[in-house]
Structure 1
Amino acid sequence: MYLLYNALLVLVSLVLVPYYLLRGLRYGKSRRGIRERLGRFSPEQLEWLQGKRIFWVHAVSVGETRAAVPLLKQLKQKYPEHKILVTNVTETGHAVAKGLSEVDFCLFFPFDFSWVVRRVFQQVKPELVAIVETEIWPNFVRQANLLNIPLVLVNGRLSDRSYPRYRFFRPLLRPLLECFSAFCMQSQVDAERISQLGAETRRVENTGNLKYDHELKELTGDDLARLRQEYRLPENLPILVAGSTHAGEEKLLISLYRELLDENRELLLVVIPRHPERCREVQVLVDEQRIESRLRSALSEDQTAFASGQVLLIDTLGEVLNLYAVADLVFVGGSLVPVGGHNLLEASLLSKPVLFGRHVQNFREISEKLIRAGAGVKVNSAQELGQQVRKLFDDPIRCRAMGQAGRSLIAENTGATERTLRRISYYID
């Protein structure tokens, strides 16, 4: 099986390596990114790795990296003598990881060639590897097992979309699942699914979702005033923040914004594309509606504050929570188009009402809890989104109640980090 897999990887690499080279050139990191993915580290990186007791946490992209933050904090507190290495696949995930104080070192995840993975393990020598959500790379998993390195799946999930694919490959997947020391799953459904795929029941636990364990933000009036000043946002102007948007959603949102402005409503739209490099593309859509926009990266203290009818486009990373904090209403993208949705709890973390589309299969349980708690509203179309935006902007009391309901929901569902850490500690201690 592994010989066949490696042969297929060689064929795929004929496309994969040029792709990452082009992506890297776009971000100005081509040589470094490719080197790290091939397990070739600089002398400075090798020096850092030597002699360290390392926990290796792999989070493929932005969502997984943010989800892992509560666990990273607890690992750091409980095992201060260890260093935390985080690897990512995407450039955006890598950028977010580098900005976390709990992370000691960041690398790009290696290509899953057996010889590359072997070289990386020889250089990193981790005491434990934690994979966030569901990233099962055959050579990586096998090599960890051969080296007797505990391998734990944390915040594990199997979505409605991915589960049928995994079931199809169950005979090939079962030997890989036997290499894992433990599976800490987000929900009972996820726990049952991983067991049905071949994971030993004694190694599977429903530990809950780490996303509920993010620290509840308590922002003072001075904090909010500072943020408004930083983003040049005026007081007493309703703000709609659309976070983690994808192609197809921005056009709908900007058209809705034009409709609201034509109704003589006073408000400001902030758009945070999931991939910041798309901001120029979004800016074209804004221009088509004859709406003035500014990029976050171009803001300065001497500029005038935004006015109703303008758009702030966020072309930087790591500012989602800041902007949710100053929002009156939040829409979470990746949900009006069939992407699967993004973290719906971040708005609730800051006591904000949240709207999302029907494509939230990656956050099905969370979306259902938000709806039941009265903290979020699901819309099935751009027309329904417009109706809900109007209703909520006309009812600030309901907005505040939804925000408080979301915050209460988070408080009621904490504990996943503690349960996950308890499971991990068994293999460390």
Structure 2
Amino acid sequence: MQQIYTVGIYFFSFLVKVYSFLNGKTRKIVDGHVSTWEILENVDSEAFIWFHVASLGEFEQGRPLIESLKSQYPNQKVLITFFSPSGYEIKKDYKYADLVLYLPFDTPENARRFLSKISIKVAVFIKYEFWFNYLNELQNQNIPIIYVSSLFRRGQFYFKSDWMLDIFKRVNHFFVQNEESKLILSSYGIHNATVAGDTRIDSVLLTAKEKWLEKKIEKVLDGRPVVVFGSTWKGDHSLLVSFINKHSSKYQYIIAPHEVDKKGITDLENSIEYTVSLYTVSDELTDVIIIDSIGVLKYIYRYADVAYIGGGFNHGIHNTLEPLSYGIPVLFGPKNYMKFAEAQKIVQLDLGSLVNSANFNKKLELYLDSKQLRNTVKQKVEKYIENNKGATLKVVDMFKSIL
């Protein structure tokens, strides 16, 4: 299996390099790998705690742990690696990290080279980041490995590979999000697991408490209900544009597309029949605001009375916990929502609603028009958050035995 997996990685890396000539985002990955090797030639010899995350969402899962460890061990060096440019570009200057890099592709040669250039005290992988050749090399060098906020489902392919299963069995500890994941690991003879919950809940609480205000937005808000459409795709835009065009000045609207390319923003702007303002361009904002930059959506939600999370009519929904941390109802489309435990809880506990193209307007109106309903949801959300926070503390306790 190792040979098949590794050949697949080589083939994937070849495709990425070819595609990088056509796509700027992919080019950043290739250039980032080159930069990683250059930086590692002159890296500090002191041992690092290494956190690897896929992108910005996984970074947010690791963030409360990183900041907690840095507060308790301020002299401890921290390395963060990303796979995706959308995470790296936003967090490359993150103040709690001593070094932020792209992680080169998961080949045996890259793993050996990477770990020969930098001293690692413990490696922390967030959620689904199973880089098996790196894991294998870490284990060959007796470097502790911890997984945080992992989720497992029956039938996943890595449980069918003796090589991958053996690597899992040698991971020092898995902090999983739910009891089902722990039971699945146990059924394969992996007993070094703890149900800690989702560190993202701690992360979104940190964000919600941060001091952040945007005077331009505050100036235009006049007491009418505000809906924030967050991380939206084209599949969402036809619905939200229809809603805006129908309701005009009854509500106020903030739209944060997942992709902020110029053409996509222009197409969205032109499809709305009312005056639209761009967040980074307009000095005076209007009732319809398009957020044409990345990194502020998690703060923008604090101005919302209701949030609609995009992706549910395309690839699958995005982060629902960010808006939930502000105690507001969260709505989303049907695509792949069952893969997300927090989305299931939103439906089960009436913290918002699952919508489709037929009931989109009706559901959105229901929450926007009823302050009493929104207050009821807020109370339920606060209870849910209170019952599920604290995963970070459980993980930090494990680190105390390592550091």
**Global fold match (TM > 0.5):** yes
Return the alpha-carbon distance in structure 1 between the equivalents of residues 176 and 208 of structure 2.
29
8 Å CA contact 2:82, 2:103 repeated in 1: yes
Give identity over the alignment, percent: 21
User: What letter corresponds to residue 276 of structure 1 in structure 2?
Assistant: V
Q: Which residue of 1 aligns with 2:193?
A: 204
Q: Are residues 1:319 and 2:296 paired? A: yes
Q: Which residue of 1 aligns with 2:270?
A: 287
Return the alpha-carbon distance in structure 1 between the equivalents of residues 50 and 61 of structure 2.
15
Q: Which residue of 2 aligns with 1:266?
A: 250
Mapping 1:19-418, distance limit 5 Å:
19-20=19-20, 22-23=22-23, 25-26=24-25, 29=28, 32-36=31-35, 39-42=36-39, 46-47=41-42, 49-98=43-92, 100-158=94-152, 163-166=154-157, 169-196=160-187, 198=188, 200-201=190-191, 203-214=192-203, 215=205, 226-229=213-216, 233-261=220-248, 265-277=249-261, 280-299=263-282, 303-307=283-287, 310=288, 312-337=289-314, 339-361=315-337, 364-379=340-355, 381-418=356-393
Deviations 1:338-370, CA, capped at 9 Å, x for gaps: x33222221121122211223354664323333
8 Å CA contact 1:336, 1:358 repeated in 2: yes
User: What letter corresponds to residue 10 of structure 1 in structure 2?
Assistant: Y
Measure how far apart 1:232 and its partner are: 5.7
Measure how far apart 1:58 and its partner are: 0.7
Q: CA RMSD in A?
A: 2.7
8 Å CA contact 2:208, 2:325 repeated in 1: no
Measure how far apart 1:21 and its partner are: 5.1
Measure how far apart 1:280 and its partner are: 2.9
8 Å CA contact 1:177, 1:199 repeated in 2: no
1:90–1:216 Cα change, 3 Å: closer
Return the alpha-carbon distance in structure 2 between the equivalents of residues 3 and 26 of structure 1.
29
Measure how far apart 1:130 and its partner are: 0.5
Return the alpha-carbon distance in structure 2 between the equivalents of residues 260 and 173 of structure 1.
54
1:54–1:216 Cα change, 3 Å: closer
1:148–1:362 Cα change, 3 Å: farther
User: What letter corresponds to residue 416 of structure 1 in structure 2?
Assistant: A
Return the alpha-carbon distance in structure 2 between the equivalents of residues 353 and 216 of structure 1.
19
Return the alpha-carbon distance in structure 2 between the equivalents of residues 218 and 87 of structure 1.
25
Return the alpha-carbon distance in structure 2 between the equivalents of residues 63 and 267 of structure 1.
30
The answer for unaligned runs of 5 or more in structure 2 is none
Measure how far apart 1:393 and its partner are: 1.5
1:80–1:53 Cα change, 3 Å: farther
Measure how far apart 1:116 and its partner are: 1.4
- Helix, strand or coil for the counterpart of 2:174? strand
Measure how far apart 1:402 and its partner are: 1.5
The answer for unaligned runs of 5 or more in structure 1 is none
Q: Which residue of 2 aligns with 1:2?
A: 2
1:2–1:209 Cα change, 3 Å: same
Return the alpha-carbon distance in structure 2 between the equivalents of residues 180 and 81 of structure 1.
26
TM-score in terms of structure 2 length? 0.90
Q: How many matched pairs?
A: 402
8 Å CA contact 2:239, 2:360 repeated in 1: no
Return the alpha-carbon distance in structure 2 between the equivalents of residues 291 and 89 of structure 1.
39
- Helix, strand or coil for the counterpart of 1:304? coil
Return the alpha-carbon distance in structure 2 between the equivalents of residues 295 and 280 of structure 1.
13
Deviations 1:157-191, CA, capped at 9 Å, x for gaps: 135xxx53426734342122133111110111122
Deviations 1:268-323, CA, capped at 9 Å, x for gaps: 3222222333x631431441343443333323xxx22313xx3x222322211221
- Helix, strand or coil for the counterpart of 1:154? strand
- Helix, strand or coil for the counterpart of 1:41? helix
Return the alpha-carbon distance in structure 2 between the equivalents of residues 152 and 140 of structure 1.
13
Measure how far apart 1:139 and its partner are: 1.0
8 Å CA contact 1:367, 1:376 repeated in 2: no
Measure how far apart 1:115 and its partner are: 1.2
